[in-house]
A and B are shown apart, each in its own frame.
Chain A
Amino acid sequence: MSRMIQISLPLFIVYLALTGNLEPANLVVGALVAVGISLLRPQMDLQSVALKRLPRFLWAAIRYIFVVAGDVIRGGISTARIVLDPALPLNPGIIAIPSGSISELGTALSAHSISLSPGEMVVAIDDRGVMYTHCLNVDESEKFVAEAQSLRQNLLSRMFE
């Protein structure tokens, strides 16, 4: 039941955002569509959040979004500087970054936030959650990513205990 709500509530919100009217008929149709799709539920292993931890979860999630946004802007500016430099100062390579997370969701979120920032891109992930990351500038990225990853990991573990 709680898994059904976890899948159908985001679908319901997306439906309302796309249709953009809040009449009761539309609400009913949206709820029916969302529940109907969630009945076709794939074998997903979703992580659940206990209700009394919800405020802490939301607070950590908001901080996580801002941390990732900061990383993305930093990566974008440094990539722009590399591209616009006439000498094209590339130092590319693949480095191994341990995600430090046991759960699959934590590893997936770490890989997502690393790939989102231009300048780093996850090429492969092995069974123990080590992310092989392609970087434009190996030395700079290795230093930066290690500390960014520990900060993000801290927030992720706060979100999912």
Chain B
Amino acid sequence: MGAMEGFMQGLEVAFSFQGILFVLIGVIAGTLIGMMPGLGPISAIAIMIPITYGMNPSTALMMMAGVYYGAVFGGSTSSILLNAPGISGTVATSFDGYPMAQRGEAGKALAIAAISSFVGGTVSVVLLMLFAPALAQVAVSFGPAQYFALMFLGLTAIASLSDGSTVKALIAATVGFMMATIGIDGQTGTTRFTFGNPNLMEGIDFLVIALGLFALAEICFLIKNRKDDSLSKQGDIGSLKLGKSDFKEMRGPMSRQSFLGFILGVLPGAGATIASFIGYISEKRIAKRPEEFGKGSVKGLSAPETANNAATSGAFVPLLSLGIPGSGTTAVMLGAFLVLGIQPGPLLVQDHPDVFWGIIASMYIGNVFLLILNLPLIPYIAKILKISRPLLISLVAIFSLIGVYAISFSTFDLYVLLAFGVLGYLMRLFSVPAPPFILAFILGGMMEQSLRQTLTASGGNMLALISDPVSIGLYIVSLISFLVPLIRTRNKNDQSESEQKAS
């Protein structure tokens, strides 16, 4: 089937009554959850997964995609209004968005964010449509050795590119991988690390870990900050109108960052956070008046907002065409696919064209919804932020618990969920990043399988892993990704040294 034909089929699925309805639900739910301080796309997707049980896979996944980019957008709303980014991908948004809101131009800031997100999202969906099938065609010929190399790259990239200590990120990834080894080994039937507990035979379900490490752990932070009532003080947001000069300012960043953000989103490990920071920095560097950045510059707000939404669609390229998530969020997204019995990867276009093209087509609708929803409704949506924290905490807790119960019908998994909630909270306290953990957990099983397939075929010869140019290239890129944090720390040291000298 040609791409055009496939896309038409996707449009048909997306424009059905069900399609439109569930994309709308997804976008709204994502925006609302993403707006809550602390709850980002990972929690949003994990919380929404139970709702998809029993749904038609293509509709369900269109909704989940809506949740994803809705949550990214919702995060920017709280960045602008409260200077409290829900997720790291919208931290750069607060640099110029919040000063603008403080000047009484919150409405304008929200409008700029909505339009930039729309442009970034829409342009990158076009790119996604062009690149994903092409990449899938290349990947069809990949064997287990190449897949192993690819997943290895995904893991090392997220560990070395995540903020904070690389060693801690790698530790998180290793422990996440260890969790994936619990249960019956698929190849030999050996039970591993179950301590004789029949509940652990099939391993730990990914939703238990995703909801524990993210949603429940975030609750702990909400509990600590429950008395923060900055939300209820939020007053009028002012006019949403933009002038001609504003559009002129936005044009440059929007056109550049749509492409740059997309490319960074495709790369494993990079994603929305890095895209938004690079977008911000690069626009500041080429701006005629860089001194305005940080004080409520239109360019400074438009750049990260365009970039983070473009990166969101970019992240779907490796997920849809290789079946390999490059970030914590897409890892949970992969989990959502698997729950519905869909294995994303190079064969997805052939086997489930309705899902593949449906998701892509639905993103066009979703982005329009986001724009329509956000421009006129934002003042009302912002009011929902005033929901009392104690009530919110209890409701999120119930949502997480029931999400897990609905897949396993066993209270054992709920106790495990609670344990992972505690672990997630401790990890945050000790500044150990959680996304590498969930990514490694989800990739772990797949990685072990492809590693052992490769080694079984070669009779245990380790050289089989590096016997072809594709794998060798991927390992080299993984090694290079380790140099990034080294350069970063050196830069930081140089900076602090020069600062010391200056003072």
Same complex for A and B? Answer no
Q: Which residues of B contact A (CB under 8 A)?
A: none
